[in-house]
Amino acid sequence: MSDDYAVSRDYVDRLFIHVYCDLGQRFEEINAGSEFRLYHQLNMARLCRQLLIDGANGLFTQANRYYRLPIRFVVPTVGPAPEVLKSIPEAILPYCPDINAFPPGYYLHPHNVDGFLGSSQMILAGTPVKNSDVIKYVANVYGGVHLSPSIKDEDERLIARFNDQWAVGQDGMVLSMLNDIVATILRSLAPLRAAIEAHCEEA
């Protein structure tokens, strides 16, 4: 163990695998029609927060510090592609969605973690709602980690009203967005999981 860190590489590796697999299993339970759908969604937000939200202290950043993989969160996006669009690293290509599965007019947009968290799927009352806002709302307000008895932040109140008034299938709109976010996170972090598992097999 390095004097600079409180935990060993092996501990970080194992914790990442546990959290990643927990997230994946809950996502699969939702897709299989689990009666505990909402409970799994609340916990998915908690796990997403643990993986990505805490910046340099996020579990993804801590684990990838040892592997330095060029992780990209590749999102199918509709509309004309920007004139300058970063290429997708070759190591990530096998984990990307198949653009041919989408209607004409889509392209694959690769984001780094900050770009992915900062990208927005909708605008409420002129305010973009970022992926990080969705994760934080479900984790910190809606019961994933904390359950707020009242909501004072105006942006969070907008998100709450939107989730209550609009639905996609069985979910409020915000929970439906969380499902899409989780699908992207699982796909995008799969290369890191594979690298960690290969390292553990060699050890």
Q: What is the 3-state secondary structure (H, E, C) of the chain?
A: CCCCCCCCHHHHHHHHHHHHHHHHHHHHHHHCCCCCHHHHHHHHHHHHHHHHHCHHHCHHHHHHHHHCCCCCEEEEEECCCCCCCCCCCCCCHHHCCCHHHCCCCEEEEEECHHHHHHCEEEEECCEEEEHHHHHHHHHHCECCCCECCCCCCHHHHHHHHHHHHCEECCEEHHHHHHHHHHHHHHHHHHHHHHHHHHHHHHC
Boundaries of domain holding 152: 9-72+111-202
pLDDT band at 123 (very low <50, low <70, confident <90, very high): confident
Asked if residue 152 has pLDDT above 70, the reply is no
Confirm whether 159 is domain-assigned: yes
Q: Mean of the pLDDT values across residues 114-131?
A: 83
Q: Mean of the pLDDT values across residues 169-185?
A: 83
Confirm whether 84 is domain-assigned: no
pLDDT at 21: 98
- Per residue in 68-100, is it b (16+ CB within 10 Å) or e — as a string? ebebbbbbbbeeeeeeeeeebeeebeebbeeee
Confirm whether 1 is domain-assigned: no
Count structural domains, the chain: 1
Confirm whether 102 is domain-assigned: no
Entry pTM: 0.86
Q: Mean of the pLDDT values across residues 145-149?
A: 71
Asked if residue 132 has pLDDT above 70, the reply is yes
Mean pLDDT of the chain: 85
Q: Mean of the pLDDT values across residues 85-112?
A: 89
Q: Mean of the pLDDT values across residues 49-64?
A: 90
The interaxial angle of helices 37-48 and 9-31, nearest 10 deg, is 150
Least Cα distance to 70 among 44, 91, 40 occurs for 91
Asked if residue 151 has pLDDT above 80, the reply is no
Confirm whether 53 is domain-assigned: yes
Give residue 69's identity as a one-letter amino acid code: L
Query: Residues in the chain, how many?
Result: 203
Confirm whether 85 is domain-assigned: no
